[in-house]
Amino acid sequence: MFPCAFSSWSPGLGSNYFMGWIIAALYLLAAVTSAIAARRDGQLPAQTRSREQAFWWVSAALLIFLAANKQLDLQSLLTSVARCVALDQGWYEDRKVVQRWFVLGVLTGGIAAILALGLFLRDTVARTGLALLGLGFVSLFVMIRAASIHQVDTLIGGQMLGLRVNSLLELPGPLIVLMAATRAIRHRIP
């Protein structure tokens, strides 16, 4: 469909470095732990059980996707396809406007999703609030990466404390979800 998209992207390992593998493993561990938290029927109040289980299953699915994306670098494929479409349709020179609208859309969608989840889980915040915070961090990181503006890319491509800034920004989200899911598994509802 857009063969030029594959000139700058090909299937392979996108984060083939130590911290990339650590973060991908952390996403997977958080996903598995979220799935275990979703399966704890008898430990949840009957009135919120189905909502909490749905939340943990959705979290698990999202985290699995993010682990796969960490290694497959699917956002680069999306960028390549968008570049091909822009070139093919003749609006490549005006791409900055489209980028701004895309970033605004991602930002709005992310905020709306987190708010909707907060509303959906309003009477379970004591048990799910920490995981929501972790997903908020993940969403913020995705929004920063989606911006793909040269100045932002330069900043997150740098080093701090011997690690890539990109890694330091990505680590807290799945780590917080992992902690929240672990806490949810251990927590007994009277």
Question: How many CB atoms neighbour CB 126 within 10 A?
Answer: 8
Domain membership of residue 117 (yes or no) is yes
Average pLDDT over residues 116-127: 88
Average pLDDT over residues 126-133: 90
The proportion of the chain whose per-residue pLDDT surpasses 70, expressed as a percent, equals 83
Q: Is the pLDDT of residue 151 over 60?
A: no
Q: Is the pLDDT of residue 41 over 80?
A: no
Q: Is the pLDDT of residue 90 over 90?
A: no
Mean pLDDT, the chain, integer: 83
Domain membership of residue 8 (yes or no) is no
pTM of the model: 0.82
Domain membership of residue 5 (yes or no) is no
Domain membership of residue 1 (yes or no) is no
Give the C-alpha distances (Å, rounded to integers) separating 159 from 25, 52, 133, 150, 156: 21, 38, 25, 16, 8
Query: How many domains is the chain built from?
Result: 1
Q: Is the pLDDT of residue 183 over 90?
A: yes
Domain membership of residue 66 (yes or no) is yes
How many Cα atoms are found within 13 Å in the side-chain-facing hemisphere of 30?
30
Does residue 11 sit in helix, strand or coil? Answer: coil
Domain membership of residue 54 (yes or no) is yes
Q: Is the pLDDT of residue 88 over 90?
A: no
Domain membership of residue 10 (yes or no) is no
Please give the pLDDT value at position 169. 85
Average pLDDT over residues 137-146: 79
Domain coverage including residue 123: 15-186
Domain membership of residue 145 (yes or no) is yes
- The neighbouring-strand residues paired with 164 are 159
